[in-house]
Amino acid sequence: MNESTNGELTVIFSDEHIVVVDKPAGLPTLPDGYDKTAPHLAGVLAPAFGRVWIAHRLDRGTSGVMVVARTPEAHRSLNMQFDGREVKKAYHALIAGEPPWDEYTVRLPLRADGDRKHRTVVDHGKGKPAVTHLRVLERCGAYALIEAKPETGRTHQIRAHLAALRLPVLGDALYGGAATPRVEGEPLIDRTALHAQSLIFRHPKTIEQVRFQAPYPPDFARALRALRSPEPGA
Which helix (H) or strand (E) element contains residue 89? strand 88-96
Residue 46 has a CB neighbour count (10 Å cut-off) of: 12
* Residue of 59, 115, 123, 219 marked catalytic: 59
What is the distance between the terminal CA atoms of the chain, rounded to a whole angstrom?
A: 43
Give residue 116's Cα distance to chain centre. 23
Q: Tell me the C-alpha distance between 197 and 194, whole Å.
A: 9
Q: Is 59 a residue of the active site?
A: yes
Q: Tell me the C-alpha distance between 75 and 55, whole Å.
A: 6
Alpha-carbon radius of gyration of the chain: 18
* Residues with a known catalytic role: 59
